[in-house]
Amino acid sequence: MLSVEAHTYYYYPTARPRRKLCACRNVLQETAPRDAEADPCRHGERKSRRRGDGAYYIDKDGGGVARTFDRKKISRKRGGAIKGRGWKYGSGFVDGVFPVLSPMAQDVLELVQTRGTDAASVWESLDKIPQAHDLWDDIVNVAVQLRLNRQWEPIITVCEWVLRRSSFRPDIICYNLLIDAYGQKRQLSEAEAAYMALLEARCVPTEDTYALLLRAYCGSGQLHRAEGVISEMQRNGIPPTATVYNAYLDGLLKARCSEKAVEVYQRMKKERCRTNTETYTLMINVYGKANQPMSSLRVFREMKSVGCKPNICTYTALVNAFAREGLCEKAEEVFEEMQQAGHEPDVYAYNALMEAYSRAGLPQGASEIFSLMEHMGCEPDRASYNILVDAFGRAGLHQEAEAAFQELKQQGMRPTMKSHMLLLSAHARSGNVARCEEVMAQLHKSGLRPDTFALNAMLNAYGRAGRLDDMERLFAAMERGDGAIAGAPDTSTYNVMVNAYGRAGYLDRMEAAFRSLAARGLAADVVTWTSRIGAYARKKEYGQCLRVFEEMVDAGCYPDAGTAKVLLAACSDERQVEQVKAIVRSMHKDAKTLFAL
Task: Tell me: pLDDT of 27 over 50.
Answer: no
pLDDT at 395: 92
Task: Tell me: pLDDT of 32 over 90.
Answer: no
pLDDT at 129: 86
pLDDT at 222: 84
- Residue 146 covered by a domain: no
Q: Phi and psi at residue 66, in whole multiples of 5°?
A: -80, 125
- Residue 505 covered by a domain: yes
Task: Tell me: pLDDT of 587 over 60.
Answer: yes
- Annotate 117-127 with b (16+ C-beta within 10 A) or e (fewer): eebeebbebbe
Task: Tell me: pLDDT of 346 over 50.
Answer: yes
In contact, 478 and 513? CB cutoff 8 Å? no
Q: How many CB atoms lie within 10 A of CB 28?
A: 10
Closest C-alpha among 40, 65, 67, 41 to residue 54:
67
pLDDT at 483: 62
Check residue 591 and report its DSSP letter: G
The range of the structural domain enclosing residue 548 comes to 490-593
pLDDT at 116: 65
> Percentage of the chain surpassing pLDDT 90?
40
Task: Tell me: pLDDT of 331 over 60.
Answer: yes
The count of structural domains within the chain is: 1
- Choose the weakest-confidence range: 78-87, 145-154, 297-306, 488-497: 78-87
Over the stretch 402-440, which tens digit does the pLDDT of each residue have?
999 999 999 999 999 899 999 999 998 888 899 999 998
Q: How many Cα atoms are found within 13 Å in the side-chain-facing hemisphere of 137?
A: 16
pLDDT band at 559, cuts 50/70/90? confident
pLDDT at 98: 60
Q: What is the mean pLDDT of residues 360-364?
A: 93
Q: What is the mean pLDDT of residues 2-17?
A: 34
> Percentage of the chain surpassing pLDDT 70?
81
Q: How many Cα atoms are found within 13 Å in the side-chain-facing hemisphere of 338?
A: 27
- Annotate 220-230 with b (16+ C-beta within 10 A) or e (fewer): bebbebbeebb
- Residue 568 covered by a domain: yes
Closest C-alpha among 394, 393, 417 to residue 404:
393
Q: How many CB atoms lie within 10 A of CB 180?
A: 27
Is the pTM for the entire model greater than 0.75?
no
- Residue 501 covered by a domain: yes
Q: Phi and psi at residue 281, in whole multiples of 5°?
A: -65, -40
pLDDT band at 18, cuts 50/70/90? very low
559 or 176: whose pLDDT is higher? 176
pLDDT at 138: 87
Task: Tell me: pLDDT of 99 over 70.
Answer: no
- Residue 253 covered by a domain: no
Over the stretch 50-87, which tens digit does the pLDDT of each residue have?
334 444 433 434 444 444 434 333 333 333 332 333 33
Q: What is the mean pLDDT of residues 174-178?
A: 91
- Residue 563 covered by a domain: yes
- Residue 454 covered by a domain: no
pLDDT at 249: 92
Q: Phi and psi at residue 90, in whole multiples of 5°?
A: 75, 25
Cα separation of 89 and 185, whole Å? 17
What 3 state SS string does 491-510 have? HHHHHHHHHHHHHHCCHHHH
Q: What is the mean pLDDT of residues 280-293?
A: 94
For 441-588, where are the E strands, in sequence order?
none
In contact, 42 and 24? CB cutoff 8 Å? no
- Determine the residue type at 556: G
- Residue 559 covered by a domain: yes
Over the stretch 438-474, which tens digit does the pLDDT of each residue have?
998 888 888 888 888 889 989 999 998 899 999 999 9
- Give me the CATH number covering residue 534: 1.25.40.10
Task: Tell me: pLDDT of 6 over 60.
Answer: no
Over the stretch 179-209, which tens digit does the pLDDT of each residue have?
999 999 989 899 999 999 998 988 888 888 8
pLDDT at 588: 55
pLDDT band at 298, cuts 50/70/90? very high
Query: Mean pLDDT of all residues in the chain?
Result: 80
